[in-house]
Amino acid sequence: MRTITISKLKAHLSAEIKAVQNGEPVVILDRRHPVASLQAFESDDDIIVIESNTPYHYEDLTPLIPKNKDALSPLWEDRESR
């Protein structure tokens, strides 16, 4: 069974999924320790899909620096006070 690190799996996920679909299981390593395996399902009967009852909710993030203020102003103010 082949092994792959998490970082390489993230970079080449599509290719790894194709290899798994072709019958080549993969063991996923985190710092040289096996943490998971990726293998194809034997049949579609093994899969149960449950749709969510609630939609995903996005929250607007508030900016750290107000729009009317320059982003570098707090840095300059801090440096001038030293």
The CATH number assigned to the domain holding 28 equals 3.40.1620.10
- pTM for this structure? 0.55
Residue 33 lies in a domain: yes
User: Can you tell me the distance from the alpha carbon of 36 to that of 5, in angstroms, rounded to the nearest whole number?
Assistant: 10
Flag whether 51 is in a domain.
no
2 burial level (CB within 10 Å; 0-12, 13-18, 19+): exposed
pLDDT of residue 77: 84
What local confidence, expressed as pLDDT, does residue 9 receive?
96
- Residue 20 has what pLDDT? 94
pLDDT along the chain (82 residues), means of 10: 95 96 95 94 78 84 75 82 81
User: Computed from CA positions of residues 14, 19, 24, 27, in that sequence, does the dihedral angle turn out positive or negative?
Assistant: negative
Number of domains in the chain: 1
